[in-house]
Structure 1
């Protein structure tokens, strides 16, 4: 088993606004690069599962297998279990687990998956080593991380949001938007270059419903979440600046021409 875990560098919490954002994620819109490689009897580990929306989708795709979701704190797991029960998905379980020190034996899973987790990790190479350790020979590690963002129309308020969140992540020891270099970390973690498949995926929020979801949840985060509290208590921002950021998201949500794009880097690493 692994050595003791590293401290978390996560810059927000699991408040309602954050879980609203995470719950939108599905296997189709967040793990499409992995889906063609799944078999019905696979045993899968979903690291950093949050509210479990991706985890439960993966369980549906391996009906003769099992999916374990792990999160480093208990907060979102009760909701994840309730979501699975409400959807009648029984081949899934949720437990506490730290990516730096996974509570599983070597060679335990066919697939180990993480979505937007490495950017919040103090030591992503060690995390990938742990993911590799618990993957069976012949299995794979799958990771997807944000690489860049763009939006229209240009907004000083959203520029302030991007600068603020980036500075906070760096100050905590995180690695904001590392999608373009996660394959380099994978090599350092022990995967051969020939066994790493690189790809890219994207999100786009432009329809009325998409802007309402994305802009609404991001505005709520700026007004009330662990990230907002950390910004104020850490001296990264003032309440006035956070209010302006929230206004920027409200303006995005209300503008029918507004568009937000997010590019992800993806890796499939064969062991």
Structure 2
């Protein structure tokens, strides 16, 4: 079985998991939802804490969804969420999407959300997603593009964060600007992508405070910080300055940030 070669830039620090737990089917995979049918079998690759997976399960009451995650420890939280919500048409498994254990044509839909930017061979993973999808089924993905994030106020420390993030992600073997090339990866995998783009916008005080507090912590304590320090990409003082900039941004009365993501919807021929 193939093995993942890249290192996940964010890691699974509590601040990261809290951020990912904000994601829902409606705010993250809206482009895919019109294509769901009640009896579908679906695979969610890189499901993390399972918030999107659990939402999708509720939309396919006669079907079944599997959430696959490379790091099994986070699946305890995902399973607990499903139990809390009374969702039973779901299971969570640990595995590497570079070499899925499923037979060809197992699923009606295979999707991933903000995953391909963190892997070493995104085209290979898309090929594997295609393999386990039924003929006429759907392969879907959504990926951000870090170089086109936009925010106000335009603090210098946040520009430093953006530049550091790009260097750290590439050091880890990922593609921080994955969104712009997502469609080309799909074509190389033998798929015919239908392309779209949507964005998250944090503009009210509650949202900006939440995003700010997340990166105040992540800048210092997540794998983002560990990779920066271990590889000489940034010093502790530079990371502290980035953390301080996120704090300042979050306290500004007019703070907002826009995070664009590109999407592909591919029907397997």
Stretch deviating more after TM superposition (215-224 or 260-269):
215-224
The reply to whether residue 188 of structure 1 matches residue 188 of structure 2 is yes
Correspondent of 2:13 among 5, 12, 15: 15
For 2:246, the equivalent position in structure 1 comes to 249
Q: CA RMSD in A?
A: 1.0
Matched residue pairs, number? 266
Q: Distance in 2 between matches of 1:63 and 1:20?
A: 27
Partner deviation per Cα, 1:175-195 (whole Å, 9 max, x = no partner) = 11211221111111011x3xx
For 1:265, the equivalent position in structure 2 comes to 262
For 2:172, the equivalent position in structure 1 comes to 172
Runs of 5+ in structure 2 lacking a partner?
none
Task: Report how far residue 38 of structure 1 moved.
Answer: 0.4
**Contact preservation (8 Å) 1:207, 1:256:** no
**Contact preservation (8 Å) 1:14, 1:75:** no
For 1:53, the equivalent position in structure 2 comes to 51
Runs of 5+ in structure 1 lacking a partner?
none
Q: Distance in 2 between matches of 1:210 and 1:12?
A: 20
**Contact preservation (8 Å) 2:153, 2:255:** yes
Task: Report how far residue 212 of structure 1 moved.
Answer: 1.4
**Contact preservation (8 Å) 2:6, 2:173:** no
For 1:210, the equivalent position in structure 2 comes to 207
Correspondent of 2:109 among 108, 111, 120: 111
For 2:216, the equivalent position in structure 1 comes to 219
Stretch deviating more after TM superposition (87-96 or 4-13):
4-13
For 1:100, the equivalent position in structure 2 comes to 98
Task: Report how far residue 8 of structure 1 moved.
Answer: 3.1
For 1:63, the equivalent position in structure 2 comes to 61
Stretch deviating more after TM superposition (217-226 or 6-15):
6-15
For 2:226, the equivalent position in structure 1 comes to 229
For 1:87, the equivalent position in structure 2 comes to 85
Q: Distance in 1 between matches of 2:235 and 2:198?
A: 34
Q: Secondary structure at the match of 2:180?
A: coil
Task: Report how far residue 9 of structure 1 moved.
Answer: 2.5
Q: Distance in 2 between matches of 1:38 and 1:237?
A: 44
- Name the TM-score, length of structure 1 as normaliser: 0.96
Q: Distance in 1 between matches of 2:100 and 2:13?
A: 24
Task: Report how far residue 99 of structure 1 moved.
Answer: 1.6
The reply to whether residue 200 of structure 1 matches residue 194 of structure 2 is no
For 2:156, the equivalent position in structure 1 comes to 156
Q: Secondary structure at the match of 1:181?
A: helix
Q: Distance in 2 between matches of 1:243 and 1:77?
A: 31
- Name the TM-score, length of structure 2 as normaliser: 0.96
**Contact preservation (8 Å) 2:123, 2:188:** yes
